[in-house]
Amino acid sequence: MAGGGPLSAAGIQTMNTIRQNIRAVLLVSCLGAATCVCGGQPKEFALDDALLEALRHNAQLQSMQAKADAMGQRPASAGALPNPMFKYSGMDAADGGKFPNTMEKRFMVEQEFPWSGKRGLRENIAKKDAEAMVRDFDAATLDVVMAVKEAYFELRATRDVIAITRNEEDILRRVEKSAEAMNVTGQRSQQDVLKAQTEIAMLKPNLLALAARETELQSKLNELMNRDPKEPVGTAVTSPRREIAANVELLIARAEKLRPEVLGAQTQIERAGAEHSLMAKESRPDYRLGIEYRSIENDADQIMFTVGFDLPFWHEKNHALVRESAMMIESGKSALESAQRQAASETLSTFAKLDAALKTLDLYRTDLIPLAEATFHASESAYQTGKVEFFELLESERSLLNVRTMAAMAEAETGMQFARLERAVGTDLNPGAAEGKP
């Protein structure tokens, strides 16, 4: 509306919808989650728990939300009339006057009225500025969600690798005992025992590095959730999704429409259009209406009406403003095209990486891990019967450890690539995404 009053009910509803569109989608899936607490410490920590806490408490998001709310108050101010002016003046004889108690006193109230349509355009520009801030907030929300998911799945994989490494240490100790027993009977040399002990010792630096990485990832998650960096994070129990939307073209189309950067660029074009219309009206004069009351000693009081208006003589200045705003529209169109191209490019490349990660994980689980396990068990049995040397047994054990470790990291990679694909598209990819369902 053109006036300076509060936004209409429809306007408020529109702004609230814009402000909450992404957070609502992300929060819906989290509301049913609950952290299991045992003795004051979280025992299990689902991904939805982490997302819900980050969306509610992340310091950056809280700051941007407050700024978006603040900018949402600007349209009412921008569309309002300027404050009226009150002026008092007194007139008296230059010689022998009784200042400040003058013979003639004037009291004047003057109100400025912008040219028709200017107030509405200024209000619309302020609305677009607020909407652009909301788009920035939406993009920051997606960044936080992606960062939480990446840290969560990498933390889960790091803990899995720690467990795998400790399990391998148990296997090596079993091999060490076997070598010691065979050394006692003279079937194997003491060197095999020393090699087993050396292999066990070599696992310890890996465990230290993994523990440091676990601490780093816990600290990062706590930072995203605005918690104490030393607060323990419970067991990550959520596994990455295993399905992928098959229609990459549909995902690209969604990205080109739904990504906050694209919507933000569209908002900037609309803002530039409103500003262009405003600049075109700046050559039209604003006018002022006033009323003046005069109190004159020894004479009748008087009332005077006044009318004034601007004289927009400097046409080149106004023309320059119009040209500038027209150029900003073209700039906005180029920015929109760039944002759409970036959205399409990131969606396509991330989709390919996710597809590769899923296939890699499937290869580890269905082929490489069973093969490595069978090779190790065969080598262990053959070593006990004297058919293979100890270094062959160690080689098969190292291969098994490596394959299991890589499988755990490949699983984390699928979760991280899913998160990056959702960020590229600009929305949560629920199972209906492949069919275009909301």
Are 353 and 147 in contact by the 8 Å Cβ rule? The answer is no
Q: From start to end of 160-264, where are the E strands?
A: 235-236
Q: Which of 180-189, 317-326, 389-398, 408-417 has the lowest mean pLDDT?
A: 180-189
DSSP structural state of residue 366: I
79/176: higher pLDDT? 79
pLDDT at 221: 95
**What is the reported pLDDT for 382?**
86
Instruction: For the chain, give the mean pLDDT.
Output: 85
Helix, strand, coil content of the chain in percent (nearest 5)? 65, 10, 20
Does the pLDDT value for residue 16 go beyond 80? no
Q: What is the mean pLDDT of residues 372-381?
A: 89
pLDDT at 290 over 80: yes
CB 175 within 8 A of CB 217: no
**Percent of all residues in the chain with a pLDDT value above 70, rounded to a whole number:** 88
Q: Per the domain annotation, does 285 fall within a domain?
A: yes
Q: What is the DSSP letter of 238?
A: P
pLDDT, mean of residues 221-232 = 94
Question: Residue 134's pLDDT is what?
Answer: 94
- The half-sphere exposure of 85 on its side-chain side, counting CA atoms within 13 A, is 10
423 within domain boundaries: yes
Digit-coded pLDDT (tens) for 230-277: 999 999 999 998 877 658 999 999 999 989 999 999 999 999 999 999
341/329 Cα distance (integer angstroms): 18
Residue 431 maps to a domain: yes
Question: Does residue 3 fall inside a structural domain?
Answer: no
Mean pLDDT value of segment 133-150? 95
Angle at 172 between CA 167 and CA 175, to 5 degrees: 135
Cα–Cα distance measured from residue 231 to residue 233, given in angstroms and rounded to the nearest whole number: 7
Q: What is the pLDDT of residue 214?
A: 95
CB 388 within 8 Å of CB 361: no
Provide the pLDDT for residue 23. Answer: 52
User: What pLDDT does 236 receive?
Assistant: 92
**Cα 200 from Cα 237, distance rounded (Å):** 29
Which three-class secondary structure state does DSSP give residue 38? strand
Lookup: tokens for 153: 């799945």
Count structural domains, the chain.
Answer: 1
State the pLDDT confidence band at 227, using cuts at 50, 70 and 90.
very high
Q: Is 373 left (phi over 0), alpha (psi -120 to 50) or beta?
A: alpha
Coil, strand or helix at 304 = strand
Query: In 3D, which of 64, 72, 73, 77 has the Cα closest to residue 130?
Result: 72
Q: pLDDT tens digit string along 298-313? A: 888 899 999 998 888 8
Is 6 a residue whose pLDDT tops 70? no
Per-residue confidence at 437, pLDDT binned at 50, 70, 90?
Answer: very low
d(C-alpha 101, C-alpha 66), whole Å: 52
Q: What is the CATH number of the domain that holds 173?
A: 1.20.1600.10
183-197, 374-388, 395-409 — most confident range? 395-409
The residue segments making up the domain with residue 368 are 9-435
Distances (CA, A) of 348 to 242, 337, 354: 18, 16, 10
DSSP character for 234? Answer: -
Closest CA to 145 of 416, 438, 431: 416
**DSSP secondary structure code for residue 6 in this structure:** P
- State pTM to two decimals: 0.81
What would the mean pLDDT of 221-237 be, rounded to a whole number?
Answer: 93
The average pLDDT across 333-360 equals 95
In this prediction, residue 425 carries a pLDDT of 93
425 occurs within a structural domain = yes
Q: Is residue 1 assigned to a domain?
A: no
Measure the CA–CA gap between 283 and 70, rounded to whole angstroms: 31
**Residue 36 located in a structural domain:** yes
216 domain residue, yes or no: yes
Q: Which of 134-148, 279-293, 309-323 has the lowest mean pLDDT?
A: 309-323
Question: Per-residue confidence at 149, pLDDT binned at 50, 70, 90?
Answer: very high
Check pLDDT > 80 for residue 13: no
Residue with tokens 């788009």: 135
Helices (H), 6-117: 9-28, 47-57, 59-71, 74-78
* 28-83 confidence digits (pLDDT tens): 444 444 444 444 445 789 999 999 999 999 999 999 999 999 999 999 999 999 99
Q: What is the pLDDT of residues 83-115, one digit of tens each?
A: 999 999 988 887 777 777 888 889 999 999 999
